[in-house]
Amino acid sequence: MSQPPSTPPRPRTVDADLARRAFDEALAQHDQAFGTFFLARLFGFEFVYDDTPGQETCSVSFELKDFMFNPQGTLHGGVICFLMDVSMGHLMAHLVGAGATLELKTQFLKAATHGRITAQGRILQRGKSIWFLESRLTDEQGEPLAFATSTWKAPRAKPGTA
Amino acid sequence: MSQPPSTPPRPRTVDADLARRAFDEALAQHDQAFGTFFLARLFGFEFVYDDTPGQETCSVSFELKDFMFNPQGTLHGGVICFLMDVSMGHLMAHLVGAGATLELKTQFLKAATHGRITAQGRILQRGKSIWFLESRLTDEQGEPLAFATSTWKAPRAKPGTA
Amino acid sequence: MSQPPSTPPRPRTVDADLARRAFDEALAQHDQAFGTFFLARLFGFEFVYDDTPGQETCSVSFELKDFMFNPQGTLHGGVICFLMDVSMGHLMAHLVGAGATLELKTQFLKAATHGRITAQGRILQRGKSIWFLESRLTDEQGEPLAFATSTWKAPRAKPGTA
Amino acid sequence: MSQPPSTPPRPRTVDADLARRAFDEALAQHDQAFGTFFLARLFGFEFVYDDTPGQETCSVSFELKDFMFNPQGTLHGGVICFLMDVSMGHLMAHLVGAGATLELKTQFLKAATHGRITAQGRILQRGKSIWFLESRLTDEQGEPLAFATSTWKAPRAKPGTA
């Protein structure tokens, strides 16, 4: 796709100050636990849980920064997968403890280029040993950007718990 | 799972020197293009292409570092998805130019905790407008760690090319 | 898993009258077109479309019959995939003409053993050349049985249409 | 796609004799067990197992018949999913007993219109409670038609077995 001559060329390097600030904050403030582990801090993830019974969600949102971009200048699909995984894994950890992802499928509906985006993880089915989850990624206007589903192995019940 | 008393507790923070070195190198050496974009540099991805006709591959390998870990102390599944996506996307870019991932599914066969791992992207089917790819992630002993398949939209043929 | 002695053994053969009736009706009434092709008739699929703009759906329902069962005595997972595919493909055909499935993922939430079940196909994202769809399978009580997502290639616009 | 005037129109009904013969044979010869259940008989599935340790496979092949076609006149994608599921589920049942499919993803590489096709199921990873499998569908010339991956819950070990 040729571009009109007036379009400024895409910068070949990322915003160094922005990246360094994100890195320094992540290094200073991380704690290798749910919600606060290093990569979650580096990307600036913020977590909001809704505990309404039967419709529990975990929403993870952050502001796009160009150090997360692919060579085409949009949010890297791999970062989207990472975010989707986090939104579902944190929901599960919040409700019953750390599970293990067996598989994750993400569909990429639309490229994201700027602003704040939010992935909302939700339960499809909650079994004794297996959970099925979904996550929807939207931009600030609520436009869908990606959709993911995953399958998880639940943590084993601790002795003495139901 | 209770652990024997002799196991040292897992550190709550990542190796700061290692993380800072990776970050500084990425900032100094990245170029927002295939093979050299910031996140590929930060994770330390190295690329090897095999152009044997009919069995082209792109192998992406790197050394695990604890700043890529999840709260449980193993390589984050989201980073694995990122890596798988990169191995397939770079193969396509290498062969015909940048495509767009429509969807990506990753199965997590075994947790990765240390050493060098390699994702090898390969073509399942190469169509005019749609490509199907797979990628296998293995450790240094060749043990399978993850398997991914994806569907891509090929770049439009440039005028004057077949 | 041993069963209590009072449980009658599962029959080793399907209900022959029921199967023959379904087959004869399918042979007599099919037409190799959307909604009426042979396998849709054999399984007894009934189609209901909702054309509400922005939330179009295609619901496909049918009564379980034991000739569709797996060796364990529940609806075969492959028949569920078939149904999910049909609910999404028919929605697309209804709206813009026959598309081509690029990929389909189905998660099996709960086994189905009897009664009427319904798969409802819905659009995740509608692009010019690529569509993303989902489908939810539920029983008569609305309990979720399966969830599917798929990616489709849209039919090429006919000359003279938008 | 307009067709040259010499192309005969596609028949609107399936070959009734062929369908009836398949149905009557299935009704006479089925047994609701692995390898012989009704739908496997109706489609004419033939099973071949390879028990080579570390590379076990289950190959399921059959001759296409037009009663399995979609409205466009090619093998229905849902039948392909069914076949892929069967090739993986039978491999598992053959090796350790009946498992439960958690999820199945199929990519459709090329339409199938005639002749004999074969799906070969194979193990990606064999865990204690979870198995990962893949299946490749090819035509008589070995050309790839479809690719599938799936995740399974293994049967619980019987008391007294390893």
Write out pLDDT tens, residues D28-84: 999 999 999 999 999 999 999 999 999 999 999 999 999 999 999 999 999 999 999
Q: Quick one: pLDDT band at residue C6, thresholds 50, 70, 90?
A: low
pTM: 0.94
Residue among A109, A124, A151 minimizing CB distance to C125: A109
CB contact under 8 A, A69 and B32: yes
Contact D135, D148 (CB under 8 A): yes
Disruptive mutation site among D102, D124, D151, D152 for chain A (greatest number of A CBs within 10 Å):
D102
The amino acid present at B150, given as its one-letter code, is: S
Contact B11, B31 (CB under 8 A): no
Q: Which residues of D touch B137 (CB under 8 A)?
A: none
Q: Quick one: pLDDT band at residue C159, thresholds 50, 70, 90?
A: low
CB contact under 8 A, D11 and C34: no
Residue D138 has pLDDT above 50, yes or no: yes
In angstroms, how far is the first alpha carbon of chain A from the final one? 59
Q: Quick one: pLDDT band at residue C131, thresholds 50, 70, 90?
A: very high
Question: What is the structure's pLDDT at C162?
Answer: 40
Rounded Cα distance between B60 and B81, Å, is: 13
pLDDT digits (tens, 9 = 90+) for B40-98: 999 999 999 999 999 999 999 999 999 999 999 999 999 999 999 999 999 999 999 99
Hey, is the C-beta of D102 within 8 angstroms of any chain A C-beta?
yes
Q: Quick one: pLDDT band at residue D158, thresholds 50, 70, 90?
A: low
CB contact under 8 A, C10 and D32: yes
Per-residue confidence of chain A (162 residues) as pLDDT tens digits?
444 556 678 889 999 999 999 999 999 999 999 999 999 999 999 999 999 999 999 999 999 999 999 999 999 999 999 999 999 999 999 999 999 999 999 999 999 999 999 999 999 999 999 999 999 999 999 999 999 999 999 998 665 444
Give the mean pLDDT of chain D. Answer: 93
Residue among C67, C103, C108 minimizing CB distance to D101: C108
Kindly state the helix (H) or strand (E) to which residue A133 belongs, with its residue range: strand A130-138
Residue C9 has pLDDT above 90, yes or no: no
CB contact under 8 A, A102 and D102: yes
Kindly state the helix (H) or strand (E) to which residue A94 belongs, with its residue range: helix A77-96
Q: Which residues of D touch C79 (CB under 8 A)?
A: 39, 78, 82
DSSP state of B11: P
Rounded Cα distance between A135 and A86, Å, is: 10
Question: What is the structure's pLDDT at B3?
Answer: 47
Q: Which residues of D touch B134 (CB under 8 A)?
A: 147
Hey, is the C-beta of B70 within 8 angstroms of any chain A C-beta?
yes
Residue among B69, B81, B106 minimizing CB distance to A32: B69
Residue D102 has pLDDT above 90, yes or no: yes
Q: Quick one: pLDDT band at residue D156, thresholds 50, 70, 90?
A: confident
DSSP state of D36: T
pLDDT digits (tens, 9 = 90+) for B108-125: 999 999 999 999 999 999
Mean pLDDT across D142-161: 86
* DSSP secondary structure letters along B73-93: SSB-HHHHHHHHHHHHHHHHH
Contact B107, A102 (CB under 8 A): yes
Q: How many other C-beta atoms lie within 10 A of the C-beta of residue A14?
A: 20
CB contact under 8 A, A85 and B76: yes
Q: Which residues of B touch D125 (CB under 8 A)?
A: 107, 109-110, 144, 147
Give the mean pLDDT of chain C. Answer: 93
D126 vs A161, residue with greater confidence:
D126
Question: What is the structure's pLDDT at C5?
Answer: 54
Question: What is the structure's pLDDT at D162?
Answer: 39
D57-63 and D116-126 as β-strands: parallel, antiparallel, unpaired? antiparallel
Chains A & D: contacts with CB separation below 8 Å? 18
Contact B95, B43 (CB under 8 A): no
Residue C1 has pLDDT above 90, yes or no: no
| Residues composing chain B | 162
Give the mean pLDDT of chain B. Answer: 93
Question: What is the structure's pLDDT at A11?
Answer: 86
Mean pLDDT across D7-21: 90
pLDDT digits (tens, 9 = 90+) for C46-89: 999 999 999 999 999 999 999 999 999 999 999 999 999 999 99
Highest mean pLDDT among A136-145, B2-11, D150-159: A136-145
Question: What is the structure's pLDDT at C41?
Answer: 98
Complex ipTM tops 0.95: no
Rounded Cα distance between B74 and B145, Å, is: 12
Residue among D100, D104, D156 minimizing CB distance to C106: D104
Hey, is the C-beta of D129 within 8 angstroms of any chain B C-beta?
no
Contact B99, B152 (CB under 8 A): yes
Hey, is the C-beta of D64 within 8 angstroms of any chain C C-beta?
no
Nearest chain A residue (CA) to D131: A102
The residues, ordered by sequence, that sit 6+ positions from D87 with a Cβ below 8 Å of its Cβ are: D58, D59, D60, D119, D120, D121, D135
Our CA dihedral for B10, A132, A45, B63, rounded to 10 degrees, sits at 50
Contact C108, D103 (CB under 8 A): yes
Residue C107 has pLDDT above 60, yes or no: yes
The residues, ordered by sequence, that sit 6+ positions from B142 with a Cβ below 8 Å of its Cβ are: none
Residue among D23, D73, D103 minimizing CB distance to C106: D103
Rounded Cα distance between C89 and D86, Å, is: 22
Chains B & C: contacts with CB separation below 8 Å? 19
Kindly state the helix (H) or strand (E) to which residue A89 belongs, with its residue range: helix A77-96
Chain A: give the shortest CA distance to residue C120, in Å: 15
Residue C2 has pLDDT above 90, yes or no: no
